[in-house]
Every structure is written in C-alpha cells, then in structure tokens.
Amino acid sequence: MTALPDLTRASAYDYDLPPGLVARYPTERRDGSRLLVVPPGAGPEADQPIEHRSFPDLLEYLAPGDLLVLNESRVLPVRLLGHKPTGAACEVFLLRPVDGPDGTPDDLLRWEALVRPGSKLKPGRRVIVAAGELEVFIEDGLPDGGRIVRLETSLGADAALERYGRIPLPPYLERDEEPEDRERYQTVFARVPGSVAAPTAGLHFTPELLERISRAGVDVTRVTLHVGPGTFRPMEAERVEDHVMHAERWEVPPEAADAVARTRARGGRVWAVGTTVVRTLESAAAGDASDPADRTVRAGSGETRLFLHPGVPIRVVDGLVTNFHLPRSTLLMLVAAMAGYERTMEAYAQAVREAYRFYSYGDAMLILPKLPSSRVSAETSGGPAQAPGTA
C-alpha cells in the first residue's frame, strides 16, 4: 500500500490537469454536465465504486426528508473600465463591499478595490466610468496596495454596476466577458447581490430540476455567502496551518436554521450545494463541538475565515454537490475533509482520465454521506428504512 503524503503540506493536494480540460464555456444546457458520484472514504459505503452519471441523476441520491441548501448570493459586475479626467484609461476591480465610515452598511456604495494603474490612482483621485451616471472616488489606500473607493452614481449602486460593470470571469478562462456570461455565470436562484465570483456548484441547477427535487419530498432552503476574490488564489504557504483564509460575509436566515433542525429531527440528511454552503453552515454551527451528535445551526450573520481541511471535523453537512477545484486550493482541501483524502484524489484522477470538464463552467461531483439512508431513526428503531432514490 502506498504511504499517504503529509496532509499538512499544500503539495499533498497537487495534481496534473491537462489545459484542454479547463471548461472555458458553459454547456449548452445548465444541467447538461456530467456528475462524478463519490462514496465517502469511510463508513459503510467506503467500499462502493465511484460512478459516472449525468447531473439530473442527482435526484436518485436524494431521499424524502432530506434538505438541499443553496447559496443565493448574486454575482455583481464589478470590473469597471473608465478614465481619469485627463482621459487616461484605468480600471477599478471591486473586491468586497465595506461599511460606511460610521460602521453601518453603505448599500454597495463603498468597496475595497484594486486599481490600475496603481501609481496614478492615489486617494483623492477619481475615475469616470460613465459621465453623469457613475464615477469612482478613491477614498483611501490600504497596506496591501488596495484602495477604499466610493461609487458616486445617480442610478443606485446595484443598477449602475449592472449597466456599466463587467462580469469578473475567473482568470483561468483566459477570455473576456461574452453576452451569455451575464446569464450563465449566475445561478437561477441568485437573489442577494454581493459576490465577485459565482458559487459555481449552483450553476448546474434549472428551475425544472429544483421543482422535481421539491416534488420528491426533499426540502430546499437558502443561505448566503458572498464569494470573494480569494477563492481563485492558490495557497502560498506550504504548511496548511500557516495559511490565512480570506474573509467572506455569510448569513443564515431563521428559516434555514429551522429547516436544518427539522431535518435532523426526522433523521434526514443535509446536502450542501457548493463549498460556500459548507463554510456557511459550519460557521453557523452552534452545538457542542465535542459532541458529534449535536449539530445545531444558529441563525445569524457575520464574516468567516473558516478553513476546513482533513483533520477539521464537518459538523453539520452530510453530502456535497461541488465542481472540480484548482490544485493546492483550500476548496480541494475542503472536499478532502468531506470525502477523505485518498477517495478525493482517486476521484480527481478518474475525472482527468475520463476527460471531465474542470473548474467554474465544468462538470460536477457529488460526495455521498457516510449514512446512505435519510431515515436513520427508522433504521435504529427497527422500522423500515427509506433508501436513497426511492422518491
């Protein structure tokens, strides 16, 4: 048996990906992707083989009484191209909204941002994006070279960004925004503006598939985590423990916390659509961390820097729908925490061999829970168990 690499090193999460497997455009249909089904690396399902399915087959693995949790954050077009009053071209990339000077939310008017050319756009300067409708005032500099900027607009920040901003496509797509990206780099359930990158696991869902899932007796609820630009950054530290996670804003509304509680009470399983949902629910975990059976989620909001990797327990989420992630990324480490390191790397090796499409516009992976039945209480009481996929 091959010895495991040192899982405390970022190099353990490296893999070779042929450039041709990076999906630069979406599939014709949202749910037209393939689905790699991965049994967990531990528990009663550990000896089951990896399966190659289509995304709509997801429904076969959900059971009545389960809960599907979506991230309803909406991507904002945060790339702003403009010019200085002198006419010189420049660019502002909005990274994350910040509160106003008095500490209260500022309706997406105040942002942490990157600017180009940085040497010319000092505090006090302004960028004209659309004369009379949208200008960017540089308020302050940041130690890392970024800026605090304020949008000055007669339209309202959200409307101005939708009209004049550009979608911040991931750098690995190696192309500029095209018309279809406005729709396809957004989930069909996106509602709350604030992300600068899509929660990509949700891109595969159609309204029709969500309706079929609901009709099958699976509850659906929503949380919010606004994805920041750090999601694209590979780890620079070699030791996992030395990595500092980027902060992202999250919210779990009371109805979502209640849905998790009801699901637990009836023996159902909690499925996260995307690593963003995992980080949100695990950030909101309110139970006794020393008690694996206490999987309470509290309603609330805040910022999280939670870093989930092998060795850190996943307390709330049972199953995960996700895309394929970059080598040496914190997202790949989260997947390994869910499925087990060996099973995760085996799945990625199979995906490469079978020419799956990778990254944001790519195919999906389904990590199955350790317990195959959503009716755990029925099994333990001697009653009939509800098998997955019998909806």
Same-domain status, 25 and 109: no
Same-domain status, 226 and 291: yes
Same-domain status, 155 and 57: no
Q: Which pair of structure tokens corresponds to residue 121? A: 């756009």
- The CATH number given to whatever domain includes residue 283 is 3.40.1780.10
Same-domain status, 244 and 372: yes
Same-domain status, 232 and 340: yes
Same-domain status, 323 and 278: yes
For position 98, what pLDDT does the model report? 87
Q: Is residue 134 part of a domain?
A: yes
Long-range CB contact pairs, 341-349, < 8 A, 24+: 341/4, 341/7, 341/12, 341/41, 341/310, 342/4, 342/41, 343/38, 343/39, 343/40, 343/41, 343/46, 344/38, 344/41, 345/15, 346/50, 347/36, 347/38, 347/50, 348/15, 348/324, 349/15
Q: Which pair of structure tokens corresponds to residue 241? A: 């423990």
Q: Which of 109, 134, 166 is the last residue of a domain?
A: 166
Q: Is residue 387 part of a domain?
A: no
Domain range spanning residue 360?
A: 10-74+183-381
C-alpha triplet 370, 374, 380: angle, nearest 5°: 85
Q: Residue 230's closest CA among 284, 170, 182?
A: 170
Same-domain status, 318 and 364: yes
Report how far residue 253's alpha carbon sits from residue 116's, in angstroms, rounded to the nearest whole number. 38
Q: Is residue 172 part of a domain?
A: no
Q: Which of 132, 166, 200 is the last residue of a domain?
A: 166
Q: Is residue 43 part of a domain?
A: yes
pTM for the whole structure: 0.90
Same-domain status, 213 and 306: yes
82, 128 Cβ separation under 8 angstroms: yes
Report how far residue 221's alpha carbon sits from residue 182's, in angstroms, rounded to the nearest whole number. 25
SS3 content of the chain, % helix, strand, coil (to 5): 25, 25, 50
Helix, strand or coil for residue 11?
Answer: helix
Q: Is residue 225 part of a domain?
A: yes
Q: Residue 2's closest CA among 241, 349, 368?
A: 349
Q: Is residue 386 part of a domain?
A: no
CB atoms within 10 A of CB 104: 8
Q: Is residue 178 part of a domain?
A: no
Q: What sign for the dihedral angle of Cα 360, 187, 59, 223?
A: positive
Same-domain status, 195 and 319: yes
Residue-wise pLDDT tens for the chain (391 aa)?
A: 567 899 999 999 999 999 999 999 999 999 999 999 999 876 666 678 999 999 999 999 999 999 999 999 999 999 999 999 999 999 999 998 887 666 566 678 999 999 999 999 999 999 999 998 999 999 999 998 999 999 999 999 999 999 999 999 999 999 999 999 999 999 999 999 999 999 999 999 999 999 999 999 999 999 999 998 877 677 888 999 999 898 899 999 999 999 999 999 999 999 999 999 999 999 999 876 666 667 889 999 999 999 999 999 999 999 999 999 999 999 999 999 999 999 999 999 999 999 999 999 999 999 999 865 444 444 434 333 333 333 3
Q: How many domains is the chain partitioned into structurally?
A: 2
Same-domain status, 157 and 208: no
Same-domain status, 254 and 368: yes
- β-strand pairing of 192-195 with 248-252: unpaired
Asked, as a colleague might, if the bond just before 117 is cis with ω within 30 of 0, I would say yes
Q: What's the DSSP call for residue 233?
A: P
Q: What's the DSSP call for residue 125?
A: -
Same-domain status, 141 and 272: no
- The CATH number given to whatever domain includes residue 141 is 2.40.10.240
Report how far residue 60's alpha carbon sits from residue 388's, in angstroms, rounded to the nearest whole number. 7
Q: Which of 137, 166, 195 is the last residue of a domain?
A: 166
Phi, psi of 221 (to 5 degrees): -135, 170
Q: What's the DSSP call for residue 230?
A: G
Q: Is residue 99 part of a domain?
A: yes
